[in-house]
Amino acid sequence: MSLPGAPHGAARGATPAPLWLSYPEAFSPEECASLIDMMIFGAHKSAGLVNGKAEQSIRQTDIHWIPENDETSWVYQRLAQLVAQGNRDAFGYTLSGFDEDAQIGRYQNGGFYDWHIDRGGRGIGARRKLTVSVQLSDPTDYQGGELQLNPDGRVVTAETAIGTAVVFPAYMLHRVAPVTQGVRHSLVIWTHGPDFT
């Protein structure tokens, strides 16, 4: 995959390295549609949190885990390229790989994910270092549903264009605003590794 151009949408100028990154057209609209199909044809369940406990007051999403197999290996390859690029462009973390499957989330009928971080206190959640979120839906398909980050006390809204991949540290506060109309899908994966030192 060729990643078009320099990352943009990230913090510019004032900081030496961007705190988060945005890669437009990381997935084509056709690829996004086929990912959404995987969710429609696969079983999905209502999503819980890092520790697996369902917390409907924090999150209302349907999720579908994507097991790695012959049909899905292209998804993992693309995500691995994105993580490698992001890590080169901004983070320089020591990463060991994907220890959890990718997931597709569906937000509709007020669905949301309130402010949270993806890094957990223990277990596999404590090994999450980078989050990648890909916008799978066309922004005209829904209202609300913005992915917002709070990298430094100021809230920024991620690009909503279909296929955009946003890469940020798993300790960074972020949320998905309530979807007030239509349906928003996203593809999320975490990259794991040893503790930040």
**Which residues contribute to the site for Fe ion (CB under 5 A)?**
118
Q: Smallest distance, Å, CB 171 to Fe ion?
A: 11
Question: What CA–CA distance (Å, rounded) separates 55 from 146?
Answer: 20
Q: Smallest distance, Å, CB 4 to Fe ion?
A: 25
Burial class (CB in 10 A: 0-12, 13-18, 19+), 185: buried
Question: What CA–CA distance (Å, rounded) separates 54 from 50?
Answer: 9
- Letters for 88-107 (x = contact with ligand AKG by CB under 6 A, - = none) are -----------------x--
Determine which residue in the list 32, 79, 147, 156 makes contact with ligand AKG, applying CB under 6 A. Answer: 147
Coil, strand or helix at 13: coil
Q: Smallest distance, Å, CB 135 to Fe ion?
A: 14
Nearer to ligand AKG, 20 or 113 (CB): 113
User: Is 186 near ligand AKG (CB under 6 A)?
Assistant: yes
Choose the one of Fe ion, ligand AKG, none that binds residue 105, judging by a C-beta under 5 to 8 angstroms depending on kind.
Answer: ligand AKG
User: Is 79 near ligand AKG (CB under 6 A)?
Assistant: no
| Amino acid occupying residue 154 | R
Please enumerate in sequence order all residues whose Cβ is within 8 A of that of 4, keeping only pairs 6 or more positions apart, or say none. Answer: 23, 24, 25
Residue reference for tokens 């995987």: 38
User: Is 119 near ligand AKG (CB under 6 A)?
Assistant: no
The DSSP H or E segment spanning 29 is helix 29-41
Q: Which residues are at the interface with ligand AKG (CB under 6 A)? A: 105, 113, 118, 133, 147, 174, 176, 186, 188
